[in-house]
A and B are shown apart, each in its own frame.
Chain A
Amino acid sequence: MNPLRLWATVFCAALLIPALPGCDSAGPSGDDSLNPVGTANIALFPVERDGDWGYMDPTGRLVIQPEYSEAFSFSEGLAPASRWISGRGTVWFYLRQNGSVAFEIVAHDAYPFHDGLARVNADGRWGFIDTTGTYVVNPFMNSARDFSEGRARVKTTGYRWSFMDTSGAVVIETEFDEIEDFADGLALYEEDGRWGYLDPAGAVAIIPQFDEARSFSDGRAAVKVGESWGYIATDGQFVIQPTFISAGDYSEGLAPVRTENAWEYVDETGARSIPPGFDGARAFSEGRAAVEQNGSWTFIRPGGGTIRAAEFDEVWDFEGGLARVRIDERIGYLDLDGDYVWFPEN
């Protein structure tokens, strides 16, 4: 296994997490109430042992033996994990939470399910499969991204992004080089150096007018005007005037922003909630937010206190009550109190 590829896999898995339906639900802090529908029932987590991947349960017990060269997180009840089989090639096994194999598919790459469909790269072309492993979009496309809010960003036979619905029909053809997935019903795009948003029909919802912008999260999007970032609502109106040097996404009622030299968190009115003190800061997930201090990462609670000393080279957001962390090349898992469920090992 090429280590770069492996890391790309792990990294991509982390990126997918925020796209999970339900992950962005706002709510009061409190561990149980915060577990949204899509993640509350996650029973298994990928772990690496001696270079091979298996899965542990939430208590850190290895329940699927490490016999896969790649392994993704669970999503919509299934997780793809792969290994090479002579005479067939790279075979992806979509595992159920009880460890049984739901189906297998030959593919270079296969990703977790979103909106009931998973993208697979077979022989260099992309298609979508359903949860029985049956192709519902033939593998003819040059690129494909995960479904989000019923739309998937794809490049079919050309090199421009389109949006496909879950029936496989292309519903929006775009001519933009830069366009993001739908979030809160809007897709961020760039035209002539300005950023705006499209609606699900492909019509302009918010005219490109921002110098920089992020996708919507919790009904708000960070946008930059001149040198400062603020936040707009889905109607395009500012809800927090541009005053920040940098700005992240709202989640669970808080957003990381940078004022002077440090990151802090503001509440929905823009008022300071957690004072500045971080070199880096990400959005909250399941009541915890990843923050960077002196080049290392840890997590904070909504009150601002850390759950563990900053000692990690990389962290992934909490999902299903656990967060993956990395020290050097070793992967471990923390619980919401910062205790190891899986100690980082090779």
Chain B
Amino acid sequence: MYRLLTLALCAGVLAPAFFGCDSANPSGDDPNNPGPFLPAQALPGYPVPIDSLWGFADAEGRLTVEPQFDFADGFYDNLAAVQQGLLWGYADSTGAVVISPQFDIAGRFADGLAPVRSGDAWGYVRANGNMAIQPTYDTARSFSEERAAVKTGFTWGFVDATGAEAIPPQYAAVGDFSAGVAAVETPEGWKYIGPGGGTQIAGPFADAGEFSEGLAPVLIGEAWGYIDTSGNIVLNPIYEDAGSFHEGAARIRVDERWGYITTSGDYIVEPKIASAGDFSEGRAPVRFNNRWTYVKRSDGLVIGSPAFDSAGEFRGGLAQVSIDGSIGYINVNGEYVWYPSN
């Protein structure tokens, strides 16, 4: 449960990689010539469970940290949230606990800070273990572009790394900062503000997503379209639902099915998918029926049969998947690097 919450809270952190635009995309998917979407500097470690205790493996699937934690999240800014007993702290790539377990929930590091909860209140901890912002908020999200969304009572605002309320809580809901702006919900609807709180794109929109790769999905009337950073509509509102662009592709929903479009609105994958996630490292998780697999950014085809109960994003060349209650890791070709274990 904690983990779910942590993941949800920190989903905004997963720095979208700004790879080349669509034109840079090779048409094939030759693993020997992976193109611009396989960057993948391996992470310091990947959390793996063995007999209910978690350790870390390297990108080749070798166990590097013996199982010893009750739970472990992935590495962010070279630190991984780990749970010992009921409390959470942070471990480094050697498995050394560098921030002792003391938090009820521990989020993911970004911009050198991680949101943590002690008791009923959220604050932020530094990588050296010192509290940067004392626990005073009802909810706190990870930093992005030196701003973090925090909630007091029923309103959201943003703090900077010093803890100063750069934008005092006043909004019913907010997105995270990207491309210098954040979507915020006002009584009139959604608009975009700058890091100082000034209005950048007035809207108002019925709903608004994050800017990425120069575009943001916005709900206009009953349908989603995309605007540029000047607020001009560049893709007409014709979608039932729409996500931000990642690696030149955005997931959109038409007739209750998801597909992917390019920034010019052309289909990469026709809307025939039951559920779809964002692209990272050239792969996006998709569900056609009950189970998940991944589609390739290069040709929109799956890397293997839908076989997974869950499918995480690719980070450092691997993605965490689950099957029948076991956790495994696959590479971009869908091959197990860590065979499912629990």
Contact = CB atoms under 8 A, between A and B. Distances in A.
Main secondary structure of the interface of A (DSSP, over half): strand
Given A138-B272, A138-B295, A123 B289 contact: yes
A123 B286 CA distance: 13
Contact of B307 (A123, A134, A140, A156): A123
B301 A123 contact: no
A135 interface: yes
Interface in A99-143: 105-107, 120, 122-125, 127, 134-140
B324 A122 contact: no
A18 to B, nearest CB: 29
A126 to B, nearest CB: 10
Contact of B326 (A87, A134, A138): A87
Contact of A125 (B289, B301, B328): B289
B302 A135 contact: yes
A136 B301 contact: yes
A106 B304 contact: yes
Contacts of A88: 307, 323
B290, B295, B304, B328, most chain A CB atoms within 10 A? B304
Q: How large, as a class, is the contact surface on chain B?
A: 20 to 34
A105 B306 contact: no
Given A87-B326, A139-B302, A157-B257, A123 B272 contact: no
B339 interface: yes
A134 B307 CA distance: 15
A124 B290 contact: yes
Interface in A130-172: 134-140, 156-157
23 contacts: A87-B324, A87-B326, A87-B339, A88-B323, A89-B307, A105-B304, A106-B307, A123-B291, A123-B305, A123-B307, A124-B290, A125-B288, A125-B306, A134-B301, A135-B303, A135-B304, A138-B269, A138-B272, A138-B300, A139-B302, A139-B305, A139-B306, A140-B288
Closest 6 CB pairs of A and B: A122-B305, A123-B306, A140-B272, A106-B305, A123-B291, A124-B289
Interface of B: 257, 269, 272-273, 288-291, 295, 300-307, 323-324, 326, 328, 339-340
